[in-house]
Structures are given as C-alpha cells and as structure tokens.
Structure 1
Amino acid sequence: MSHTQMLQQADPKRWKALALLCTAGFLTIMDTSIMQVALPVIKEALGYSQVNLQWVMNAYIIFFGGLLLLGGKLSDLFGQRRIFVWGFFILTLSSLFAGVAWNDMVLNVARAFQGAGSALITPAAMATIMTFFAANPKEMNKALAFWGLSGAAGGLAGIFLGGIITEWLRWRWTFLIYVPIGILVLFLSSGLLPKGIRRNGRIDYAGAISVTAAIVLIVYGIVIAEHNGWQSPSTICHCRSGPCYS
C-alpha cells in the first residue's frame, strides 16, 4: 500500500479527536496535583488529622495506578469509546461529590472513584490514539508526543491552577472544575471518537480481582512508605502483594 493510500484511509477527525484525548490525559494527571496547595484549607474545613490528610492524594493514586491494567482489558473487550465515556462519567460524578464533600470520609471515597474513573480513561484514550494514527507512523509519533506532553503539562498546571483556584474561589472548585469540563468531553466524545475495536474474549474474574488487588497493594505500599518508612513491615508486606500476619 502506498503512502498516499495510507493517508487517504486516515480519519479526517483524528486531530480534533487527539485534542480531546490530550485534554483527557491532561485532566487525569492534573488531578494528582491540583489540590496540593488547598490541602491546609481542606484540613481545616473537613477536620482531617495531619496523618489522614495524605489520603486526599493517596486515595486517587492508589486506585488510578491499581486499576490501569483492568481498564486496558475492559477497553479491549467493550470498545475504547465506551470505556472512555464510562471513565469520564465516573470522574465527573465523583468530582461533584468531592466538591460538595461534607466530611473527610466522603472526600476520600470520592477521590478513590476519581482515580478509578481516570484508570478507565487513560488506557482507552491511549488505545484510541493508536487506532486513529495507525495508518501513518510519522503522525503516530507526533500524536504520542502530544499525548506525553499533555500529561506532563497536567502535572505542572495542577499546582499552578490549584493555587489560583484556592486563592480566588474556594478549595471545592479544585474538584468542581472537572464537572463542566467532564460534561463537555462526554458531549464531544460521541461525535469525535470511534467505537473502537472490540476483541473477542472473556474476563477472567478471579484473575482480574487477584491481579488488580496485587497492583493496588503494591501502589498502596509505595504511597505509605513515605510515612511508615521503606523498612516498615507494613510497607514490605504490601509491596510484596501478600497479606501480613502478626
């Protein structure tokens, strides 16, 4: 097949779709850092202890990192767009609950669901990019570069925007800002994103649960290491993905 024929098969909406997917990547990484500046205010508003305050961030990171593999498998089985939309629906709804949280437990649970939604979004978005630009390796490299930059920009922008939002609005808007953006992304997804290729197969539920639990425990062990220390028995046991016995 000639280079011209390959270009002719490329989806004409691919660059608009890439902008949408990069926005998704930007948001999922930004969510790991946007509330850092607001943490002292959140602590006072919801009565967190200094020890428990870390869970505003850790709840997101644990479920985001722990469920990525499962999110990729689900996007293969059910189609990238469907999982992408499910992920953004979960992220948007949980951001609403995080923004209106009335105590620390509600915020922690909402943050965990935000992480779960992002774990569905990220592999589905990545797979969609690979599908969109498969016809042209040069465009593929460019698209992947934009995807990588969007995540890096999200991490940097989170701290900057978190400070501005906390200073000029309220800490709750570090979460509520995702609601209108999420609704817009959901609205645009059906017109810009293909359904994706669904692969034949089934979910090994026992395997999915065990692998996901193992990854969650590893990520949990890593995030608690800062507080408990790398040589702590709880850290070592969780990083080994096995139960601890006293």
Structure 2
Amino acid sequence: MLFAREGAKVVAVDRDIEAARDTQKRVIAEGGVCEAEQADVTKSADVLRVVEASIARFGRIDVLVNNVGIAKVGGPVELSEEDWDMVFDVNVKSMFLACKHALPYMEGQGGGSIVNVSSMAGVRWAGVPYVSYGASKSAVNGLSRYVAMQYAMKNIRCNTILPGLMNTPMIVEPLSGQYDNVDDMIAQRDAICPTGKMGEAWDVAYAALYLASDESKYVNGLELLVDGGLHHQVLAPKAA
C-alpha cells in the first residue's frame, strides 16, 4: 500500500489469492494500481509465471520486494527435519527463485532494486529458540550480499532489512506456545524493546521504500536493522 501511495504499480503475490486480492482492493480504493497474483513462492514454475505476468502487464520490474517468511520454534534437538526444510524453502529458496527469474529482466532494462526482508535473528540471538528461523535469515543475508556484488556493475542493487521485535500477525501462531496468552506475549516483547514498544509493519515498509527508491541509489549490500536499537541490547534466554 505504501509503494502504491508513492506511485508504484504493484503486483501483490500470495499463496492465498484472497489475501492478495484484499491488498489489491485496498490499493485501488486509494486510487492506486495493483494486480493480484497467486503463487507458492517455493515453486520455480509459480514464481516464473508471476514474473512473466508482471512483465506482460507493466513491461518491466523496477523493484522486487521479497517479504515472505515463516518461523518454527525449536532448537536442533526439538525441531523436526521436515520443519527445518520447510523454513528454509519458504525463507530462503523463495528469495533465490524470485531473484533467479526477475534478475534477467532487470538486467535487460538496465537496472533495478531488490529488497529482501530478513530479521535481526539472522545476526544475533532473538530471545526465542528457533534455530531454523535464525539460520535461514543468516542465509538470506548471505544471498543478498552475493547478489548485490555480482550485479552492482549492472545497476542492480540488493539490500536487506533486518526487523527486530515487531507486532504483526506473524508472531501469534509460532510464538503463542511460549507464553501464557497473546496479550502476555505482546507485553513481554514490548518490555524487551529499548523504546518500550515493538515496531510495526509500517516501520519495515518505510525502510523498504527508501531502499527501493532512487534516493538510495548508492546504497548496496546493506543490512539495515529496523529494531529500535535492540541489537545493542543483551537478550537473556526465556526461562523454560
């Protein structure tokens, strides 16, 4: 929605087409332009189809925002092999596939900007034992650096956003079992933050907008922490 407000023509992609259509309706209601596409971003054919549909509709892809991610709680012993594979497929393979299929068009048109949404958990302990999430976000950081350097001479930038503790719907399902209830979880996570409050999705959106824009034309390979300063703070493990 923020990108559309700034004049971008948006393609909203989701595994749940109704979720993408909800975004589309909201953008159109504000006078923006938005197409809705269904895709499982862990599947190469789906990603290629969406990229080709975007080119057919708009003729180019100036900005690619990879903002799909899941979390599964558990350390190396507790986490199942299936959950490990699922987290890496969704969090890392999806970004690899989106880059694979979008980069040739960006190169052909003379440039572009890729923004990958990682996590503070990719560079430090996040207070919850989800080893697959942290490891996958570290992999996202590495993927982004390599894309940034390989394509820098082709006027294609790739930067990464590392959100800290954020108050979004994503935290409810995977983390609710670690706390007495959702309100207790939110209160405890708010208390951890230096500002006394978690961030929100708009904070990440504004960071993505900057990294996608011409104002950041000399910013490449950056890992931008959006966490209210939390990365400077020591996090103790939550008691069992």
TM-score (norm 1): 0.32
TM-score (norm 2): 0.33
Determine which structure has more spread, i.e. the larger CA radius of gyration: 1
- Higher helix proportion: 1
Which of 1 and 2 has higher RCO (CA within 8 Å, sep 6+)? 1
